[in-house]
């Protein structure tokens, strides 16, 4: 993720470089002056004032004093939800939720790549020109490869992810009924992609 969480006072959320809305996952720019810790700002997408960062660490007070708590990142929360849905027999919805985690991870990875190349100003404009945030889409994949210098289609999980994207589209657009085996395969592919993009 780049950068370690900054230290701060008790009860205050520690955030490093990049803030995201806890409600919808939208990036929130840090405009704190002079290297001060990032301050939560309202989300430009949903208006929430709850900001967070991937791998965010929060400090609080327990009966034994100060302790750190790891807050789960939004894509991982979606993957956990997909896992619960599979356990509950909601296979098609689980696949859709797993792919939501992938799309949020793609958006964040692209934002980090733009900023890493001092082209952060392109982020929002480039995102608007894309048809979606699905790496199975050729335009999205080509942009990701160009700005990151990686060839994601060369990764070991790529074939399984592409198959999962096809399943997701069939479930959403054609009403295809998915099986538990298919949902588990999609969850595995999505989990591998999210881990790679992190």
Q: Is residue 7 part of a domain?
A: no
- The residue written with tokens 């952060």 in the block is 120
Domain boundary among 30, 50, 70: 70
Residue-number span of the structural domain to which 26 is assigned? 13-70
Q: How many whole angstroms separate alpha carbon 198 and alpha carbon 194?
A: 6
Q: Is residue 182 part of a domain?
A: yes
Q: Are 147 and 110 in contact (CB under 8 A)?
A: yes
pLDDT tens-digit readout, 9-65? 322 233 334 555 555 556 666 555 555 544 556 666 666 655 555 444 434 443 444
pLDDT tens-digit readout, 108-152? 888 888 777 665 555 566 666 666 788 898 989 998 898 888 999
pLDDT tens-digit readout, 75-97? 999 999 999 999 999 999 999 99
- Same domain, yes or no: 37 and 90: no
- Same domain, yes or no: 56 and 143: no
Beta strand pairing status for 57-62 and 51-52? unpaired
Q: How many whole angstroms separate alpha carbon 31 and alpha carbon 80?
A: 32
- Same domain, yes or no: 163 and 93: yes
With residue 163 as reference, give the H or E element that holds it.
helix 158-174
Question: DSSP letter string over 108-119?
Answer: HHHHHHHHHTT-
pTM above 0.95, yes or no: no
Q: Is residue 175 part of a domain?
A: yes
Q: Is residue 2 part of a domain?
A: no
Number of compact structural domains in the chain? 2
Q: Is residue 18 part of a domain?
A: yes
């Amino acid at each position: 993720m780049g950068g370690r969480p900054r230290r701060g006072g008790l009860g205050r959320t520690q955030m490093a470089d990049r803030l995201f809305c806890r409600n919808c996952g939208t990036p929130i720019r840090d405009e704190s002056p002079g290297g001060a810790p990032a301050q939560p700002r309202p989300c430009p997408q949903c208006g929430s004032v709850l900001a967070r960062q991937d791998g965010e660490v929060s400090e609080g007070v327990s009966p034994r004093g100060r302790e750190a708590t790891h807050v789960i990142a939004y894509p991982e929360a979606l993957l956990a939800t997909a896992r619960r849905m599979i356990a509950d027999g909601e296979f098609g919805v689980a696949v859709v939720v797993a792919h939501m985690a992938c799309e949020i991870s793609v958006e964040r990875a692209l934002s980090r790549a733009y900023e890493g190349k001092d082209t952060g100003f392109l982020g929002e404009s480039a995102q608007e020109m894309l048809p979606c945030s699905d790496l199975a889409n050729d335009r999205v994949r080509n942009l990701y490869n160009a700005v990151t210098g990686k060839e994601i289609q060369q990764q070991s999980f790529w074939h399984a992810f592409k198959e999962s994207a096809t399943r997701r589209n069939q479930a959403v657009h054609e009403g295809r009924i998915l099986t538990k085996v298919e949902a588990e395969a999609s969850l595995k592919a999505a989990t591998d992609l999210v881990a790679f993009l992190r």
